[in-house]
Amino acid sequence: MLKRILSNPRFLIAIVIAAVALISYYSKTEVNPITGEKQRVSLTQEQEVALGLQTAPQMIRQMGGEYNDPKVQAMVERVGMKIVNGTEAGRSKYKFDFHVLADPKTVNAFALPGGQIFITMGLLNMLKTEDELAGVLGHEIGHVIGRHSAEHMAKEELTQGLVSAGTIATMDPNSPGMQNAIAQYIGSVINMKYGREDELEADRFGVKYLFETGYDPEAQIEVMKVLKKASGGQNPPEFLSTHPNPDHRIEAIEQYIREYGKK
């Protein structure tokens, strides 16, 4: 049985594709200049900045444009730059810009590679204090400093290679639908774990930055309560979610506050 499998040309091709994907992934190791952490990334910092700047206009259009109130934009920019200038983020090569998106229904904030950070009016309207806004922006700045997008892109390249290998190795002409479903499931599960870890690391950055810039770190907990309320309390099982559920994140944030509060 094993001999027949190993002599199958499809299986041998799959092994080669998987090996190339793994070697390529593990060769992309850099030391994060801010955190000192060894990371596998597919972009230089300069490429991250360029990609973020190129992608930002399209992202703004997809989210209904920027909110047409200069005072609101200026307020978010002020809070964001206070965090940048008061922390290690200001010593990085990243170009930070803060955008308020007009979308009133979507409750979200996110960061593009290189420092382009967005918050929707749907989320901004739910925040009660400047500290809570600082908590949101600090978290997103943490994603940039943590180089999570660059890491994710490298993992995506690995995933695509492994999925391609799996597709070829399990190819069944009589059941293409099942083949595609298996390949997609493999890819989604590989990347789920990393998404959760990135969010928790960004929460840690956020707490640290709130301490360093004089904002109330407890505001991070209030932000989690806002997100929990926005979800209607309906969260998928954490193992099958790209983000930790709000209750888990609150527990982690409380631990980060205790840690940084002792320093």
3-state secondary structure the chain: CHHHHHCCHHHHHHHHHHHHHHHHHHCCEEECCCCCCEEECCCCHHHHHHHHHHHHHHHHHHCCCECCCHHHHHHHHHHHHHHHHCCHHHHCCCCCEEEEECCCCCCCEEECCCCEEEEEHHHHCCCCCHHHHHHHHHHHHHHHHCCHHHHHHHHHHHHHHHHHHHHHHCCCCCCHHHHHHHHHHHHHHHHHHHHHHHHHHHHHHHHHHHHHHCCCCCHHHHHHHHHHHHCCCCCCCHHHCCCCCHHHHHHHHHHHHHHHHCC
36 torsion bin: left (phi>0), alpha (psi -120 to 50), beta (else): left
Cβ–Cβ under 8 Å, residues 244 and 200: yes
Number of structural domains found in the chain: 1
Q: Which residue has the tokens 């999925």?
A: 163
* Number of residues that this document lists for the chain: 263
- Report pLDDT for 187: 46
Residue ranges of the chain with per-residue pLDDT less than 50: 1-2, 5-6, 21, 25, 161-162, 165, 168, 173, 175, 177-179, 181-194, 238-240
Range of the domain at 132: 2-261
- Report pLDDT for 34: 79
- Report pLDDT for 218: 96
Residue 65 φ/ψ, nearest 5 degrees? 85, 170
- Report pLDDT for 171: 53
Q: How many CA atoms lie within 13 A of 26 on its CB side?
A: 6
pLDDT digits over 190-205, tens only? 444 447 888 999 999 9
